[in-house]
């Protein structure tokens, strides 16, 4: 699938003078704003927080442009581990008891979505469409915004103690192969060449050369929004609260500061999109998968390219600030306080993976963060028009692939807003799939 940065000239332009409001200034909102400008819309971006700020998932994500992240979180047999998720508040996937009654319907749909390998393959095919060529798409966007150096295209590697450990994940790699992904297997000698400072217990790896990473997601998102503003978009630091829809057409977006007249709107507010979708007639089972990161600032050693150790199930990524370990899934809702022990576990895995790092790091050398992945139970985002009007587009729920899937999702959202058929089939992501 060829890389693309926008629609062909004179193809699918917005109605003359049409005003599009993008709700959310995260990675989906920023890329959608640029795609909408390319189609000739007048664009206003709404977000109460600063673009790329610490309040946003776009700030604290794993930094990966992981084209291979096509396997959804739920896989066959996961249901057997639910009791362990409830017992262990510090496991890689944990569910807070207090939140269980509320999340049960979502959790059941989540488990069912990966009940069989055939279902996982179907999801993987849909995700592959969104993730294809993502590093190239991001590179073009970053260069447009003058921050091309933030996007690296030098691959990612999953690392294992042995080939036997790798083969325990055979289903996932088999499905990746079926959807057109390739990797290079590397043994102990090659591992030492690629990652000389990695603990020598990791003797096997799967290198995905097609992948890449962003060295500062917060700065990247801020730069994209700044670029959109330089091209004519307006940024307003306010929250959308709903819509005024008359006779099936959007008239305005309601905010805490009054109404903003609009011809189209795109909901790209991440984990806080659910009530806005409902206001546009679409009731969707959006949930937050809370994720954490820990950063060793100005780390003395680390990987040359990002890695995922099999025993930690988290990404370790070199960034501008330092060495970031990110991951964990905690089901506890939007309002529960962080459990910072989860970030400490990530830090411990990081230090064990790179034993030359100091074990007695002072507090000022460590930064921790918790944020909210916007997740649908079937591992696929919502990309489509709302039930109440085609003038409101839903573009959220990307779960673990928000960063990598943003450019192609944004192109689709802008096409829908312009009333033209997107270049990819949006059937798998249709919000109506939930009934």
pLDDT digits over 89-131, tens only? Answer: 888 888 999 999 999 999 999 999 999 999 999 999 999 999 9
Q: Is residue 273 part of a domain?
A: yes
The whole-number pLDDT of residue 435 equals 79
Low-confidence residues in the chain, pLDDT < 70: 1-11
d(C-alpha 399, C-alpha 375), whole Å:
4
141 and 34 Cβ atoms separated by less than 8 Å:
yes
Give the side-chain half-sphere CA count within 13 A for 241.
8
Structural domain includes residue 184: no
Determine the Cα–Cα distance for residues 335 and 127; give it in Å rounded to an integer.
29
Q: According to the model, what pLDDT value does residue 277 have?
A: 98
At residue 8, the pLDDT reads 40
Number of domain units in the chain: 1
Evaluate whether residue 198 is within a structural domain: no
Sign of CA dihedral 394, 400, 401, 406: positive
CATH number at residue 237: 3.50.50.60
Instruction: Determine, yes or no, domain membership for 428.
Output: yes
Interhelix angle 134-144/402-418, nearest 10 degrees = 70
| 343-399 residue pLDDT tens | 999 999 999 999 999 999 999 999 999 999 999 999 999 999 999 999 999 999 999
Query: Which pLDDT value is given to residue 20?
Result: 98
Q: Note whether 417 and 426 are within 8 A (CB).
A: no
- Alpha helix positions (H), 39-71: 57-60
Predicted pLDDT of residue 406: 98
* Domain assignment present for 268: yes
CB 186 within 8 A of CB 267: no
Residues 382 and 394: beta-carbon distance below 8 Å: yes
pLDDT of res. 91: 83
Per-residue pLDDT, 319 = 97
Q: Residue 45: inside a domain, yes or no?
A: yes
Residue 267 inside a domain? The answer is yes
Instruction: Tell me the β-bridge partners of 212.
Output: 65
Token pair 């979502």: residue? 106
Q: Are 396 and 406 in contact (CB under 8 A)?
A: no
402, part of any domain: yes
Distance between CA atoms of residues 227 and 391, nearest Å: 25
Domain that holds residue 26: 14-66+212-284+378-435
**What are the helix and strand counts (H, E) for the chain?**
13, 21
């Amino acid at each position: 699938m060829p890389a693309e940065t926008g629609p062909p000239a004179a193809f699918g332009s917005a109605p003359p003078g049409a005003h599009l409001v993008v709700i959310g200034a995260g990675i989906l909102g920023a890329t959608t704003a640029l795609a909408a400008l390319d189609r000739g819309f007048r664009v206003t971006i709404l977000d109460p927080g600063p673009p790329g700020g610490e309040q946003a998932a776009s700030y604290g994500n794993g930094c990966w442009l992981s084209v291979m992240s096509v396997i959804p979180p739920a896989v066959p047999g996961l249901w057997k581990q639910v009791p362990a998720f409830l017992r262990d508040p510090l496991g890689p996937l944990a569910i807070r008891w207090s939140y269980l009654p509320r999340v049960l319907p979502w959790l059941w749909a989540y488990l069912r979505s990966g009940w069989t390998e055939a279902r996982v393959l179907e999801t993987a095919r849909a995700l592959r469409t969104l993730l294809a060529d993502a590093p190239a798409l991001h590179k073009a966007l970053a260069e447009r915004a003058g921050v091309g150096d933030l996007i690296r295209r030098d691959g990612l590697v999953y690392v294992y103690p042995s080939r036997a450990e790798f083969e325990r994940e055979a289903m996932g790699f088999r499905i990746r192969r079926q959807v057109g992904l390739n990797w290079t297997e590397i043994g102990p000698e090659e591992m030492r060449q690629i990652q000389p400072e990695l603990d020598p217990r990791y003797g096997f790896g799967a290198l995905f050369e097609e992948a890449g990473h962003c060295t500062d997601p917060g700065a990247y998102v801020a730069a994209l929004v700044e670029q959109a503003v330089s091209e004519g978009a307006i940024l307003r630091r306010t929250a959308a609260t709903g819509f005024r829809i008359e006779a099936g057409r959007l008239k305005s977006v309601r905010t805490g500061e009054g109404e903003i007249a609009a011809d189209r709107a795109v909901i790209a507010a991440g984990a806080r999109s659910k009530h806005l979708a409902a206001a546009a007639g679409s009731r969707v089972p959006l949930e937050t998968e809370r994720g954490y990161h820990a950063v060793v600032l100005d780390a003395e050693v680390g990987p040359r390219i990002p890695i995922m150790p099999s025993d930690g199930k988290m990404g370790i990524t070199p960034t501008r600030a330092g060495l970031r370990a990110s991951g964990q899934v905690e089901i506890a809702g939007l309002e529960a306080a962080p459990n910072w022990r989860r970030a400490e576990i990530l830090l411990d895995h990081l230090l064990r993976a790179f034993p030359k790092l100091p074990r007695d790091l002072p507090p000022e050398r460590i930064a921790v963060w918790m944020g909210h992945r916007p997740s649908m139970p079937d591992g696929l985002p919502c990309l489509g028009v709302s039930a109440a009007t085609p003038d409101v587009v839903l573009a959220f729920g990307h779960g673990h692939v928000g960063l990598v899937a943003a450019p192609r999702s944004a192109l689709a959202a802008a096409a829908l807003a312009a009333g033209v058929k997107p270049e990819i089939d949006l059937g798998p992501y249709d919000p109506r799939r939930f009934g």
